[in-house]
Copies of this chain bind each other. A is one copy, B any other.
Amino acid sequence: MAKEKKQKIRRPRAQTPRGFADFFGADVLARDAMLAKITEVYHRYGFAALESPLVETVEALGKFLPDVDRPNEGVFAWEDDGDWVALRYDLTAPLARVVAQHRNDLPSPYRRYAVGPVFRNEKPGPGRFRQFYQCDADTVGSASPAADAEICAMLCDALEAAGIARGDYVLRLNNRKVLDGMLESVGAHLVHRPGSGPSVSKALETASSTVDRDGILRTIDKFDKVGRDGVFELLTKGRLDASGAFVDGVGLDDKKANLVLDFLTARGSDNTQTLERLSSAVGRTSKGAEGVKELGQIAELLDSMGFGPDRIVIDPSIVRGLGYYTGPVYEAELTFEILDEQGRPRQFGSVAGGGRYDDLVKRFTGQDVPATGVSIGVDRLLAALKARQTNGVAASGPVVVTVMDRDRMPGYLAMASELRAAGIRAEVYLGNPRNFGNQLKYADRRSSPIAVIEGDAERAQGVVVLKDLALGAALAAEIESNADWKAHPAQTTVPRAALVSGVKQLLARER
């Protein structure tokens, strides 16, 4: 034993694994509070909570991430008694497994919401973690546009419940079918591979046309950057980019290129005009006509629920993620500006998105099961609320009852108990009480609003001193003795019996 003691001990490193992070205090509470408000809305819309395990079989998950083209990468997987299991990478793949496994016991349609951590085995970066939260709601087993409309309405209500004011966000609505109609019009439509879906990579799909479909989609995505004329050039004969290099064109003729542009720029002054323009751009194909009709239905249904064009905008330029969905898609965007790291104003952008994907459980059962759902980017929305300072969680620390006399601990604990019984967050200082300055430094570090002090003199008089730390925080660290302390103005003396009401008064003053 003595020998062991003398051996040089190699100590383990105290370090989170690469790409994982600890979250403390107010950050945890802010996220919990936001998620509680959102899920309360989901619940009110009739959605039921589901908590599936964090571990799934690789077989059930599928080997492919929805938005990663590298098979077998992107997940944390290990062998468990001969079976390969992995941490879930999203909440949709587990939903598919749950629906297939419990299909005889679940109501149909099945409306479920789920909140929790998901994991990506990817290279971490700044603000990019390998464990993060998702918050999803999906309706499984309904092909009705009313299901899409309800989820759009619910997303609006959820954002407002979380603290995003009406007018600070817009929900953009599009439909994969109008994109398909457009692609068909220019001879670049895609034949779907059976069984493909959300959990099967795009890489597995096979283009069936000689027209460069991916080239068209890539070009569409550049609309924001290169504008109408730039897109036209890229769709046809090619273009010199800013660096002077020539970028090959997709090779469409002018008529087809204009058709793509008509689609892209179909957004009108209101939803009705947008639908008319979309109809003339893609309405000749049956897919396109179906898509336009669905968009019209959804807009009408939303209108009947009180969700008008101030919140819901049909926007054909929403292309991102369209490849993944089979029908209506929606994206919630925050419209206010924030300052970036360089202090420049920029739009906050998208915080949630979703849409219809009609082959959720086909991998498992062979059956087509229509589904539509939304996923909120929890960390992005939290960041937005922080930027707006509307997260609504008081970051205030506890009232700290200081210890002037170690033998009076029972009395100090009783004070904390009284405060707690009145609903006030409170604690007794539990470190070494000898250095009173340390107690105040501690209170400062805890963002404590008030320190309670009872020394011999106070006890003799039957009073306690309440130190308003919110007022005097800056000076607190310098005060070393009870004598200094009393000279300080931001404090008040109340009868011991009036401890609770005195603290309440001070707290009210701070608000």
> Is B62 touching A305 in the complex (CB atoms < 8 A)?
no
| A17 pairs with B80, CB closer than 8 A | yes
Report yes or no: B426 in contact with A44, Cβ–Cβ below 8 A: yes
Q: Which residue of B lies closest to A424 (CB)?
A: B44
Q: Which of A64-72, A139-147, A245-253, A256-264 contacts B (4 or more CB under 8 A)?
A: A139-147
Q: Which of B13, B78, B131, B366 contacts A77 (CB 8 A)?
A: B78
Asked if A431 is at the interface of the complex by the 8 Å CB criterion, the answer is: yes
Q: Is the CB of B364 within 8 A of A14?
A: yes
Q: What mask results when residues 263 to 292 of chain A are scored 1 for a CB within 8 Å of chain B, else 0?
A: 000000000000000000000000000000
From residue A385, how far is it (CB to closest CB) to chain B in Å? 17
Query: Cβ of A489 < 8 Å from any Cβ of B?
Result: no
Flag A411-427 by CB within 8 Å of B: 1 or 0 each: 11110110010011111
Q: Which residues of B contact A87 (CB under 8 A)?
A: 55
Complexed CA–CA distance, A206 and B366 (Å): 60
Q: Is the CB of B76 within 8 A of A50?
A: no
Q: How far is the CB of A274 from chain B (nearest CB, A)?
A: 19
Q: CB distance A131 to B53 under 8 Å?
A: yes
Q: Which of B9, B147, B303, B417 contacts A305 (CB 8 A)?
A: B417
> Copy number in this complex?
2
Cα distance A271–B78 when bound, in Å? 52
On whether the beta carbons of A141 and B76 are closer than 8 Å, the reply is no
For window 59-97 of A, CB contacts with B under 8 Å fall at: 59-60, 62, 76-78, 80-81, 83, 85, 87, 96-97
| Nearest-CB residue, chain B, relative to A78 | B78
| Closest B residue by C-beta to A417 | B305
Tell whether, in the assembled complex, residue A131 and residue B54 are in contact, meaning their CB atoms are under 8 Å apart: yes
Q: How far is the CA of A77 from the CA of B87 in the complex (A)?
A: 12
In the complex, A479 has a CB within 8 A of chain B: no
Report the stretch among A102-110, A175-183, A326-334 that lies at the interface.
A102-110
Interface residues of A in 391-447 (CB under 8 A from B): 397-398, 400, 409-414, 416-417, 420, 423-428, 430-431, 442, 445-446
B193→A4 contact, CB < 8 A: yes
Asked whether, in the complex, the Cβ of A413 is within 8 Å of the Cβ of B365, the reply is: no
C-alpha gap A18/B56 in the complex (Å): 9
Residue A149 at the chain B interface, CB threshold 8 Å: yes
Q: Does A308 contact B (CB under 8 A)?
A: no
B16 touches A56 (CB 8 A): yes
A430 near B23 with CB under 8 A, answer no
A191 near B: Cβ within 8 Å? yes
Which residues of A are at the interface with B, using a C-beta cutoff of 8 A?
1, 4-5, 9, 11-18, 20-25, 28-29, 32, 36, 43-46, 48-57, 59-60, 62, 76-78, 80-81, 83, 85, 87, 96-98, 100-102, 107-109, 111, 117, 119, 121, 130-131, 139, 141-142, 144, 146-147, 149-150, 153, 157, 191, 193-195, 206, 208, 300-301, 303-306, 361, 363-366, 397-398, 400, 409-414, 416-417, 420, 423-428, 430-431, 442, 445-446
Task: Give 8 nearest A-B pairs by CB, closest first.
Answer: A46-B427, A304-B410, A14-B100, A46-B398, A78-B78, A142-B430, A28-B49, A20-B53
